[in-house]
Structure 1
């Protein structure tokens, strides 16, 4: 039986290759005004996703254009929740305008990493999903500790990164460290194939870690991202792996 994997990419972030990347993926995470973007950039990305039958996700972050959402911010939980709702409002309105479904939410940058570090942040993000749509998918990193029992209506997709190195606890290696970002297409393909077939990922220190993933991300701002995705998609299909579930409009 053929296997299926979702391949996602963070788009609408001012990159030059969104139109080339979109046909190669099955889900996209669109910046919606926190670390980058406005209604115009969101509309463009949603339109591209609809054209190529790619599932649309919101990619909210700390409200921090200056640092591209890659630094934690000292906001009250109420302030943060309001910012997240404002960002998701932008993309939800765009989706309604183009007649597509908002498929998932994936936090960006420091907010994504803080989900693992802080149960309060994890719970806040979980509550935002509940308040928006109780049937929406939430992309999460491994080892997130929610205090709530996850209702059956909420789907969590465990996300792996094709182009980022992991520590032994499955936290991401800081971008400031050597080897944190990977950009060799063939190496990345072998890594992703092992993630799919063996449910294994190799940490930066060389330890093999067992982890099952539902979706795998390639960042659009990684050097060589377009080539990575071209090689990854072609080789996965050659190896009998389907890219993405059926598109939901």
Structure 2
């Protein structure tokens, strides 16, 4: 039986501003990456999102990013490894407190935005993130791509390879920067077809036309997208109709 996780970046509202349809999306995904207050989210949003995840039976993970609320964590920042490690520990700790209060256990950590993209290509930054995760709880799963997966193994952590239903890929397996046209896939049918192929065949077509190998342990839906709920429902339905079971990361990787 083929198992795959379906995750979504959630809890990204802030103060009076609401982003995403978290309550509805939580009913469709198996894992939730919850913002920890640096790129989005605030204490009340974190508490509510954790509580909702508990009600839905959705596994909870920390989604730490750069300290950049104005840029939604999508702007590159130059942090030393020690600074990056401390920032990630701080954010995991914040969400861990809310999870414990709700009687839940953190399942994973997935870096956000620019922190994620930079660490996927930078061993030093990836190692800092892995050290942060391991120092808080070495049972946590590190979710990511590229160098993040190698860093997890060096730190003795379980790792999970993530694929993106709504993002285009470069030939080296990294994501096309959002600043480039075509970086985000808006067609539901195209996203479904790409996702099914990544899960079943372990391949995806890069923007340059080549087929590249890819490991799909977990599929990401971006919660701030207006089509997040539609994508989550449609992708889950398409996978299950082909005999693929959607399950939390803790059941997918060992």
Range class of TM-score, shorter chain: over 0.9
> Does residue 1:158 correspond to 2:157, yes or no?
no
Aligned-residue Cα RMSD (Å) equals: 1.8
Give the equivalent residue in structure 1 for 2:124. Answer: 120
User: SS at the partner of 1:5?
Assistant: strand
In structure 1, the residue corresponding to 2:26 is in which secondary structure? helix
Matched, 1:229 2:232: yes
Shift, 1:131, TM fit? 0.2
Q: 1:172 aligns with which of 148, 166, 175?
A: 175
Q: Does 1:13 align with 2:12?
A: yes
In structure 1, the partner of 2:83 is: 79
Q: CA deviation at 1:247?
A: 7.5
- What number of residue pairs does the alignment pair up? 246
Query: Does structure 1 retain, via aligned residues, the 8 Å contact 2:5–2:248?
Result: yes
Partner of 1:22: 26
Q: How does 1:156-235 map to 2 (within 5 A)?
A: 156-235=159-238
1:108 corresponds to 2:100? no
SS of residue in 2 equivalent to 1:189:
helix
Q: Name structure 2 gaps, 5 residues minimum.
A: 14-18
Question: C-alpha distance in 2, partners of 1:94/1:117?
Answer: 31
Do structure 1's residue 49 and structure 2's residue 48 form an aligned pair? no
- For 2:237 and 2:152, the matched residues in 1 are separated by 40
- Looking at structure 2, the residues matched to 38 and 207 of structure 1 have their Cα atoms a distance apart, in angstroms, of 42
Cα offset, 1:245, TM superposition = 4.1
Query: CA 1:110–1:185 in structure 2 vs 1: closer, same or farther (change >3 Å)?
Result: same
Greater displacement, 223-232 / 71-80 = 71-80
Aligned to 2:103: 99
Measure the CA separation in 1 of the matches of 2:120 and 2:159.
Answer: 14
1:130 matched to 2:134? The reply is yes
Structure 1 length-normalised TM: 0.93
Q: Relative to structure 2, which stretch is displaced further, 24-33 or 225-234?
A: 225-234
| Aligned-partner SS, 1:226 | helix
Mapping of residues 50-69 of structure 1, within 5 Å? 50-69=54-73
Q: Residues of 2 paired with 1:178 and 1:87: CA distance?
A: 32
Instruction: Write the distance in 1 (CA, Å) between the matches of 2:246 and 2:153.
Output: 30
> Corresponding residue for 1:35?
39
CA distance in 2, matches of 1:210, 1:222: 26
CA distance in 2, matches of 1:136, 1:197: 26
Contact 2:75 2:114 in 1 (8 A): yes
Q: Following the alignment from structure 1 to structure 2, what is the Cα–Cα distance between the partners of residues 226 and 84?
A: 28
Question: How far 1:136 sits from its partner (Å)?
Answer: 0.8
After TM superposition, give the deviation of residue 77 of structure 1 in Å: 2.5
